[in-house]
Structure 1
Amino acid sequence: MNKQAQAVILLLVGGAVLRASLTGQYLNYVKPGLQPYLVAAGAILVLAGAFTLWYELRGPKNAAAHTNAEERTNAEEHKGAEEHAHDDDGHGHAHGGPKVAWLLLAPVLGLLLFAPPALGSYAAGRSGSAVTARSEYAPLPAGDPLRLTMLDYASRAVFDKGASLGERRIRLTGFAMRGPQDTWLLARMMVSCCAADARPVKVALGGDLPDGLADQQWLDITGKYSGRELQDEVNGEAIPFIEVSEVTLIPVPQEQYES
């Protein structure tokens, strides 16, 4: 692979990173706070590729000012002889360039042609619920209904036994998925950095639910704390219930992960 091809690959990789960063596609893979770093990395790759390509296409225009044609010819012949000596394996066979470098185009094609979606019900069904305890639970702010994250509700329901939730009406947003005992769950993937460390938080849905629910369907629900719990079949963690009073089917949000 010559330097012109390397420059083109840099341009494509950088362009794909910039496109994903500026269109919101990056939210399928990393948390929102990493966008500035992705934009900077993509811009650096594009600039590096552009300058490399410009330098290679410029040609030896300035060489004639410092050397004559004969000296250039001798230098090129000497260089060619050295390269042949290095490339030859001792049996008269020359080795090609690092063709494996073309594999760098794989992530570019993935981002541009068939970018994978955000993790959803398939991944959540194969991972245990990631509810974590806190040392204390602050009083809830004003609001009726009050919007909470999935993790905040599940943590208060499991470890605080709903004491800090009381009779408040709570709003949660997530995707539907089938759970144990033929129940419907509301789930959402939590990320610390990127999709590689994503784990689901699951809340079981009680009360009257609309007909025709399907896996991966996004819902905005309103309900109250319920003392009932299920056991996650994957890791044995408790899955708290919420008694649903209102269900709204919503489009897939741009930011599908919570962090």
Structure 2
Amino acid sequence: MRRYGGPFLLLLIGVAVLRVTLFGDLYLRYVQAGLRPYLIASGAALILLALTTAALRPAHTHSHGGSRLAWLLTLPALALLLFPPPALGSYSADREAARRAAQGVGTFPALPAGDPVTLTVAEYGSRAVYDSGRSLKGRTVRLTGFVTRDDDGTWYVTRLVVSCCAADATTAKAEIRGTPAPPTDTWVTITGTWHPKGTLGSPTAWPPVLNAKTVTRVPEPTNPYEKP
């Protein structure tokens, strides 16, 4: 069986990739939806390569080091197949350095009519910190995200913003005031009003603040990440 270590590993990874892309939405924990066709093609290519390699491999070989390594690498592949990791959560958000795209202060487009207006957490943060037109003033907004907390009890509604895949995730969050914090990592939908803070466009305006009116627990969405 040693001579099949490499092909078996390729087969296992290919099956794992197809499992998370073809049979549900697990792949959305790792990449944006638009990359699904490429994942499917990659998984199929790995399976084909595994079968071809196994069929062409000679029956006898005297080099077993590569095979031993291949068998060791089956453990993380099996873990991906059997126990897919959860979406990134508060652990990742808490360790996000203050990486935010440089934005100049300016006027943002008008918000849609009607309250509450649904915004992503990133959109709310951009308007709260950089909008010289103060488009959030007097409006009720609705945000959905998961709960993160500071050691002093301050809590936030948080989302991870993903451009391509989970490896490039950055954090968007809004401090919530006026209501007790649900447990960390709980998904919630919050309605509330903007609470001005700090100097527009400066670090003192970050993170933005929302005075909560309602906090409702909700299931984790199929795609837990926001787009930039």
Instruction: Classify the TM-score, shorter chain.
Output: 0.7 to 0.9
In the alignment, which residue of structure 1 is the partner of 2:163? 192
CA distance in 2, matches of 1:29, 1:52: 28
Identity %: 42
- Could you tell me whether the CA contact under 8 Å between 1:131 and 1:155 is conserved in 2? no
TM-score of the pair, normalised by structure 1: 0.74
Give the secondary structure class of the aligned counterpart of 1:50.
helix
8 Å Cα contact 1:176/1:218 also seen in 2: yes
Question: Structure 1 stretches of 5 or more lacking a match?
Answer: 60-79, 88-94, 230-234
Residue 148 of structure 1, CA deviation: 0.8
Q: Please tell me whether residue 121 in structure 1 is matched to residue 122 in structure 2.
A: no
Task: Quote the Cα distance in structure 2 between the aligned partners of 1:228 and 1:179.
Answer: 18
Query: Residue 55 of structure 1: CA displacement?
Result: 5.5
For structure 2, list consecutive stretches of 5 or more residues without a partner in the other structure: none
Tell me what 1:67 maps to: none
Structure label with greater radius of gyration: 1
The within-5 A match list for 1:63-82 is none
Preserved CA contact (<8 Å) 1:192 1:198 = yes
1:239 and 2:207 are equivalent in the alignment: yes
1:137 Cα deviation after fit? 1.4
Query: How many Å separate the matches in 1 of 2:64 and 2:50?
Result: 23
Residue by residue, what CA displacement relative to the aligned partner does 1:81-114 show, whole Å, maximum 9, x if unpaired?
xx8xxx7xxxxxxx53413233442331121233
In the other structure, the counterpart of 2:135 is: 164
CA RMSD of aligned residues (A): 2.9
Q: Does 1:27 align with 2:28?
A: yes
Cα deviation code 1:47-72 (max 9, x no counterpart) = 22234445669x9xxxxxxxxxxxxx
Select 2:79's aligned residue among 110, 118, 128: 110
Q: TM-score under structure 2 normalisation?
A: 0.83
The CA distance in 1 between the partners of 2:148 and 2:196, in whole Å, is 21
Alpha-carbon distance in structure 2 between the residues aligned to 1:248 and 1:220: 5
d(CA) in 1 for partners of 2:215 and 2:73? Answer: 45
Aligned residues: 219
* Residue identity opposite 2:26 in structure 1: Q
Deviation at 1:223, TM superposition (A): 1.1
